[in-house]
Amino acid sequence: MSHSPRLIFDIHLDLAYNAIDFNRDLRWTQERIRRRELGMADQVFRTRGTVCFPEMRRGRIGLCVATLLARSVDFFSRMPGWMSPQQAWAHTQAQLAWYREMEACGELLQLRDRGALDRHLAAWLAAPLESPPRLPIGYVLSLEGADSLVTPGHLERSYAEGLRAVGPVHYGPGVHGMGTDAEGPLTPRGRDLLREMERLGIILDATHLSDESFRDALDHFSGPIWASHSNCRTLADWNRQFNDDQIRELIGRGAVIGMAFDAIMMVHGWTHQRSKPQDFQLRIEK
């Protein structure tokens, strides 16, 4: 009897970020993408592990939450990002255009409602296990970090384009609140954003919220919640992860919590870009 899953749901993939910011054609094989990047030094992640459509189908990842991602920063910030929310918005629109092109060539299928989701699941679950399905990969559109939402009207425009989840913050200080490695509450614009999200029925992604912004968000939002890619602070002591009380509260609100398999989120003491899995006896067993 085969133990291969008929379908895997990956709740967080930066597909358009990989395609637009790294200039990767995700229709290529992983090997071809890596080979193309040999010798490139413009990005620290060149030639390293990346997702692509052939590998997703081979692993039967037929459903994912796919992101738009563009941070806005101020003049003094040392973090990468766009110098205005308007520029960040324009960049997310380039990413959105890429999703539309991938839909047009049959690689992706945007899922905007329960009916579309049910039909897509039925097609994938009926596909034979013997070979990777030649079906479109279904995606739910999410916004990771909401700096690009220049006005509340931009959120409504995004909803009309199929946006169904929003994480208000990313790394550091943001327009709407404090993210990973920062501390502080939501800004007044952040609370306004939550009210508009609740009105539209958009899911709140609690990932990346600082502790105080997390408290603020859950106190001011009554709609559906998930945490797309977060782990447990007991395993990796960093405010990127949730403490036990936060996890209990999310569970009490009926939230889905997606695990992140980044080593820095799985063990104490990992040093970014320096530590190796062997240093922590991390092994992948098939």
189 has pLDDT over 80: yes
Residue 70's nearest CA partner among 187, 158, 201 is 158
Residues 151 and 277 in one domain: yes
Which segment of 91-100, 210-219, 263-272 scores lowest on mean pLDDT?
A: 263-272
For residue 74, tell me if it sits in a domain.
no
Residue 98 CA from chain centroid, whole number: 16
The overall average pLDDT reported for the chain is 93
For tokens 């999410």, the residue is 142
Residues 6+ positions from 171 with CB-CB distance below 8 Å: 71, 79, 179, 180, 181, 182, 208
For residue 166, tell me if it sits in a domain.
yes
For residue 72, tell me if it sits in a domain.
no
pLDDT tens digit sequence for 257-274 = 999 988 888 888 888 778
- Integer Cα distance of 143 and 195 in angstroms: 16
pLDDT tens digit sequence for 45-90 = 888 877 999 999 999 999 999 999 999 888 667 778 889 999 999 9
Identify the domain containing residue 119 by its residue range.
1-61+79-140
Which segment of 84-88, 175-179, 197-201, 262-266 scores lowest on mean pLDDT?
A: 262-266
Number of Cβ atoms within 10 Å of the Cβ of 201: 10
Q: What is the mean pLDDT of residues 246-251?
A: 98
Residues 214 and 263 in one domain: yes
Residues 244 and 170 in one domain: yes
For residue 99, tell me if it sits in a domain.
yes
Q: State residue 282's pLDDT score.
A: 65
- Structural domains in the chain (count): 2
Residue 1 — very low, low, confident or very high, per pLDDT cuts 50/70/90?
very low
Q: State residue 284's pLDDT score.
A: 63
Residue 228's nearest CA partner among 159, 139, 105, 152 is 139
Residues 155 and 210 in one domain: yes
Q: State residue 3's pLDDT score.
A: 59
